[in-house]
């Protein structure tokens, strides 16, 4: 084979390999088309997010939505007002189906966390985050406190941990074992006893026995520890996150 012919063959082979590679050039991992294994504890099959603009098929959540609709019609709940998050009505009660799993889905700009709500142990706290999520209270708020090995805190309407939604309610401790702050991933109120539980929440990054008599544990992160670790990495000694973390949206998922 003469020199020109040899170079033509080599060029064709290179082009063929390149074309094959381009056809398979897809991102991997969560952002691409290839699924990844879950990295947190066992949960039921994936369910559907509860829509805010139409009644839920779950009777308990549908009843909660009806109450909110009535409040809107009477002007008791008006999310169009400036600074509305500082003065919302006390959360209503809700009836949860003991055969179902209710998840609180926190979509942040650093990934999504799913929290299994402890609807039997702390039904008022579960109803509270369900209510606030359905009215869009958490959308756009920040995780204002991150301390490595200790906690992540959010849900403050003014962003510094001192704001409230205009109401507070009593804790739901249950028995001593049920309220133990004994492991990473537990989600608790920020109350200090009495009617001080409100919209704010804490995600434990390790056991915290000192807080056990004060705040109510009302859920546990079941997805994903990867996101939880990414958030923890932003922690500082003073608790101010090294980077701003926004809760883009909070939803409910029923399984």
Do 152 and 242 touch, CB atoms closer than 8 A?
A: no
For residues 108 and 228, membership in a common domain is answered with yes
> Domain for residue 43, yes or no?
no
Q: How far apart are CA 253 and CA 249, in angstroms?
A: 13
Average pLDDT of each block of 10 consecutive residues along the chain (255 residues)?
A: 42 38 32 32 61 93 96 96 96 95 97 97 97 98 96 96 96 88 95 94 90 85 96 95 96 96
pTM: 0.80
For residues 94 and 198, membership in a common domain is answered with yes
Which stretch of DSSP H or E encloses residue 15?
helix 3-23
For residues 28 and 93, membership in a common domain is answered with no
Give residue 110's region: left, alpha or beta (phi > 0; psi -120 to 50). alpha
Per-residue pLDDT, 29: 30
Structural domain harbouring 84: 50-254
Do 133 and 219 touch, CB atoms closer than 8 A?
A: no
């Amino acid at each position: 084979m003469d020199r020109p012919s040899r170079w033509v063959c080599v060029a064709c082979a290179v082009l063929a390999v390149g074309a094959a590679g381009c056809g398979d050039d897809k991102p991997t991992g969560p952002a691409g088309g290839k699924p990844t294994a879950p990295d947190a504890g066992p949960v039921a099959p994936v369910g559907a997010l509860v829509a805010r603009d139409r009644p839920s098929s779950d009777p308990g959540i549908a009843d909660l939505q009806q109450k909110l609709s009535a409040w809107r019609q009477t002007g008791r709940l008006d999310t169009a007002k400036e600074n509305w998050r500082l003065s919302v009505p006390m959360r209503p009660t809700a009836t949860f189906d003991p055969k179902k799993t209710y998840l609180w889905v926190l979509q942040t700009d650093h990934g999504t966390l799913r929290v299994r709500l402890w609807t039997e142990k702390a039904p008022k706290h579960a109803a509270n985050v369900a209510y606030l999520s359905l009215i869009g209270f958490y959308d756009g708020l920040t995780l204002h406190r991150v301390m490595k090995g200790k906690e992540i805190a959010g849900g403050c309407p003014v962003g510094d941990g001192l704001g409230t939604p205009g109401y507070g309610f009593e804790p739901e401790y249950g028995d001593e074992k049920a309220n133990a702050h004994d492991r990473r991933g537990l989600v608790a109120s920020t109350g200090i006893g009495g009617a001080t539980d409100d919209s704010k929440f804490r995600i434990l990054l390790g056991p915290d026995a000192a807080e056990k008599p004060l705040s109510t544990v009302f859920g546990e992160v079941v997805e994903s520890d990867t996101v939880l670790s990414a958030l923890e990495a932003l922690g500082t000694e003073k608790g101010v996150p090294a980077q701003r973390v926004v809760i883009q949206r909070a939803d409910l998922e029923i399984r």
